[in-house]
A and B are shown apart, each in its own frame.
Chain A
């Protein structure tokens, strides 16, 4: 069966510090991978998605970046965090864009102080 992992589960970082969130998927090959952010009291915002190794599509311009160094690994990064980067970050995978279901990870709650 397929599983999706995210770490860390929670993170508190000062403004201006770097960020690295990791997501890995097990039990499937060549998944589509997604990063979402959910700010407090708001809906889910799609940040990045990837259809393959090294292929990243950005949905929203910002100070975040994503990378996919391996087939089942998706990393969300920032060189300098802003207060507005606080939120709940979710990684998801799907078989393809046209597949009906996306599977979400447990999320990382990031607080920038």
Chain B
């Protein structure tokens, strides 16, 4: 069963912030939210993960709602190279990563 729900596709103008939503209303207390992305014809790339608090790294920021039922991945200044499929994944610490269908993000010049 899918643990996350993401929009099928999104567009974002180059240079603007890309905000990718993810719903995970059935998340349990010990499950983390992970984000990966897959550029065409390449393997997925880890972006960020979080449990309760918001997280930021050199690639993106992750905002998790207080009830943890949804989250948003933010790419602060999207470039054409950010065009990819973005996967939101919920998993427990010792669980395998299960990929859904993700969101296809198009960065428009």
Question: What bracket does the count of chain A residues touching chain B fall in?
Answer: 20 to 34
State whether A92 and B43 are in contact (beta carbons under 8 Å apart), knowing that A42-B101, A100-B34 are contacts in the complex: yes
A97 within 8 A of B: yes
A49 within 8 A of B: yes
Describe B's contact surface by its main secondary structure: loop
Q: Do B43 and A90 have beta carbons less than 8 Å apart?
A: yes
State whether A107 and B46 are in contact (beta carbons under 8 Å apart), knowing that A43-B99, A44-B99, A97-B96 are contacts in the complex: no
B17 within 8 A of A: no
Residues of B within 8 A of A46 (CB): 96-99
State whether A97 and B95 are in contact (beta carbons under 8 Å apart), knowing that A90-B43, A107-B43 are contacts in the complex: yes
- A residues 25-43 near B (Cβ < 8 Å) are 34, 36, 42-43
Residues of B within 8 A of A90 (CB): 43-44
B21 within 8 A of A: no
A97–B94 Cα gap in the complex (Å)? 5
A109–B45 Cα gap in the complex (Å)? 18
Nearest chain-A residue to B43 (Cβ)?
A104
Query: Interface digits, A41-54 against B, CB 8 Å rule (1 contact, 0 not)?
Result: 01111100100000
The 5 A-B pairs of least Cβ separation, nearest first, read A104-B43, A44-B99, A101-B46, A98-B93, A43-B101
User: B residues engaging A (CB < 8 A)?
Assistant: 32, 34, 36, 38, 41-46, 49, 87, 93-102
